[in-house]
Structure 1
């Protein structure tokens, strides 16, 4: 059963471009930049899949500006995620030999319109390519991965369906459990909340969670730092069989505090988690959220310096008491254990240097060339804290 919404090729579904759509496009664009920089420097080929590619165009009312494209031309007035992906590929192809973009779209009408909105490959730098694949995400994604070089190529997948019934749990976890694969998923949590008690939607709701016991498990699940336990539960289910790490980004309507969806990132790489964590905390408005009308989510830097060190220090003592490990390992473990903390690498570095100045910890410089530096393999020795 499909979700109780209009068909994906209905023209009305592509009318309007608003703040919540811009928010997910911002996040996609923001993360592809470091992803391509880091992996392009170490790999001869990268792949990016847009698994619900759509039309590459939005029509009608526009209350938000689209993501600016500097490296490709498009006939679209308001371009979509395929153009954002290609724009990044053209910007960073100089770092690698090939960036292959795959746009999966189940509706032939949407795929045809998308093809009309994308530039011809002849206009791209050498090494950038794309294909439009007509078919369903759950049917096409894994075969396309296997036909295009298999599971050893760094691959990023943008999974942005209308509704939730197409988020096949087994497909998502099979993809995201693979090293070198990362996913950014749109979970329409507002629809999950709305329809979870409707009998006719039970089969559809089981698909993203991947278990017939989802209602019972959700009932007892504790949301933790997230506002919505349905999202926290979905992240837990992903981590049970898919990526080692997840982090969720709340997206509300621009004119109210109503939740629309969450963008959920999954990775097996702690560095990927750190980079996406920084992105989600950076682009706002809101901490790990596009939530302009939720006061509790507003980023407020006032007074941050007066209290953040104490909070960071407390966490450092809690995690590393009596241990000796590298700075890079400290940041990695801190990010995994305090995923929704707003404190970043620079805050951890600053607090460690203050603790060294106070004689609390010892640091052996290995990577850093001066006593003022702290990075990489520099070893930090923590005493046993009470």
Structure 2
């Protein structure tokens, strides 16, 4: 699905979507559409792959294609005259589902500014067709948010993720089917695992990562952490979320990657909002069994940070980036305040004489350095 929201002649939001099994996850891009990151001071683009399917289900009449259209309609109501057009491109490879989707779209009354383009074909081929549309959402000048959600571990080559993140203003949120990838790995040759995993990771790095791993839960954590590391080779900011149902059982992993720290900050804020609704709870995929957004995890993350930087003198920005990429927090202030109180860091800030102990600025401050004890 491609959403293009314009503001004063510039792209404000775009989305390309494909695939939906879990309608609750649609709330993530929907919230981002309604809250277009004003701190960025530029257009916000959305591209996501979740909108695929017949458009309705027997137990849930509004499938993700319809939910996305309604999210766009909500965005139009909230943003008002700032918004130009929203372009929605739906990619579906099954002919019967595609026919049902077309019928469902025809029955859906929407704002005249929402324009819909259903495409019959695979996601990869559909993305090629999207590029041929007027106002190509993958124009290199267009900020892009990509929500990529394949049905299973197949169909989402890492090469596509790399291509998207090569765009200067692109962010991606990927549903990483770590469980499915782990099962393919354990199945071995009869599941054509080498071809599929090379495609999923873009190379054979998974072989060394998973060598000798026999237990599926261990393989799952190694898979999602490898995926995050590969994202970090492409952009400076990446984080993985472990999504759990209300009963606390593991559901799936989401990996987010951005060129800009504000993108990851906004994503964590949205996840926290959804977490408070009770529909999901979130866990840091790097820390086993720690529920995300709990303040009592502070000592754990503070100790993790202190061990990572032990004996080093680092800038405020470096510690802030680490907190954003490796902890539940959107910045390093709470972690550093905790560490200063327990004597595990010293702070020098000659250009910031008004600073009080245990307090840190909202933004990067030139000349501030953190000295971690060995």
- With structure 2 as the length reference, what TM-score do the two structures score? 0.68
Residues 142-174 of structure 1: per-residue CA shift (max 9 Å, x gap): 452364342211122222121111112222221
In the alignment, which of 130, 151, 156 is matched to residue 162 of structure 1? 151
The 2-side partners of 1:216 and 1:30 are apart by 38
Equivalent residue, structure 1, for 2:49: 50
Partner of 1:188: 177
Report if the CA contact (8 A) 2:23-2:63 is conserved.
no
Unaligned residue ranges in structure 1 (runs of 5+): 1-12, 63-75, 366-371
Q: Which residue among 80, 102, 112 is the counterpart of 2:89?
A: 102
Q: How far apart, in 1, do the equivalents of 2:320 and 2:204 lie?
A: 35
Structure 2 contact 175–255 (Cα < 8 Å) conserved: yes
Change (3 A) 1:133 1:79: closer
Q: 1-side partners of 2:370 and 2:289: how far apart?
A: 37
Task: Give the counterpart of 1:114 among 101, 107, 111.
Answer: 101
Contact kept in structure 1, 2:290 and 2:297, CA below 8 Å: no
Alpha carbons of structure 1 residues 219 and 226: separation in structure 2 relative to 1, 3 Å: closer
Alpha-carbon RMSD: 4.6
Structure 2 residue ranges without an equivalent (≥5): 1-18, 353-358
Residue of structure 1 in register with 2:160 after alignment:
171
Which whole-Å CA distance do the structure 1 matches of 2:320 and 2:101 have between them? 40
Whether the 8 Å CA contact 2:301–2:335 is kept in 1: the answer is: no
Aligned partner of 1:341 among 307, 320, 327: 327
Q: What residue in structure 1 maps to residue 264 of structure 2?
A: 273
Q: Secondary structure at the match of 2:211?
A: helix
The CA deviation string for residues 197-251 of structure 1, in whole angstroms up to 9 with x for no partner, is: 2423223343212235633443279xxx9961122223333444x4443322223
In structure 2, what is the equivalent of residue 219 of structure 1? 211
Provide the secondary structure at the position in 1 that maps to 2:326.
coil
Partners of 1:112 and 1:191 lie apart in 2 by: 29
Give the match for residue 249 of structure 1.
241
